[in-house]
Amino acid sequence: MTGSGGSIPAPVLPVLYEDNHLLAVVKPPGILSQADDTGEADMVTLLKDDLKERYNKPGNVYVGLVHRLDRPVGGAMLFAKTSKAASRLSESVRSRNFDKTYLAVVHGVPSALSGRLRHFLRKDAARNIVTVHDKPVPDAKEAILEYSVVEKHGPYSLIAVKLLTGRSHQIRAQMAAIGCPLVYDRKYGAPPVQGEQDIALWSISIGVAHPVTKEWLTIVAQPPASEPWNRFDEQHFTRALHTFDRQGGMG
């Protein structure tokens, strides 16, 4: 990882990987992926400001948004530091050569311990919520994911998820649709839990071919040591990382 040592200030966000082309960091839950009309903090602006300060760069700094995480979601997030890298990474996303594995802690246990979910999601922008449908309906988009139960602990299950489509609130809505809402996710039907925090959804890894060297990169961000993640351990998280192969299927 570059950009450390000497008199260069420490990064404002935990850096998972950095070179001249890429920057991967841990996105905190509650931060927007990119700016909107609220004027609230967003990852792109935070990283631009951070790079300008750390490397004492005058003028504009390029940070390309390659993929998004919903605001309540934390974990590994990858950005481009050049327009060339952004273009190539965006093509990787479009061609589904961009692997993302998520961890979720859900209420209950799915009836099938692993499987593929296919629904059609229609977004209600006014309420910022999506409705789940088994068949195509007007204005709905197809949503497909694969999941596998990694471990059970009391009333909760740790689930590894691989997205095959990238829809707003997809994991939250689809897991709720099979009767296993994410812990703390009251918007999608989770029961109230004492000491509620951010919804239990975390981007644990990103896999992609480097846009310049073509070397396959796997970038990992462990979930926080707080409820409900602390009910599980590093062995469970490692097992989750190996649930899926690089083609997006179950390993």
**Catalytically active residues, by annotation:** 70
Place of tokens 């960091």: 25
Place of tokens 């979720």: 104
- The helix/strand/coil state of 218 is strand
**Quick one: tokens of 92?**
């990787």
Greatest pairwise CA separation for the chain in angstroms: 58
Distance CA 168, CA 70 (A): 7
Identify the DSSP state of 42.
B
- The helix/strand/coil state of 213 is coil
Q: What's the per-residue H, E or C state across 48-112?
A: HHHHHHHCCCCCCCCCEECCCCCCCCEEEEEEECCHHHHHHHHHHHHCCCEEEEEEEEEECCCCC
Residue 196 identity (one-letter amino acid): E
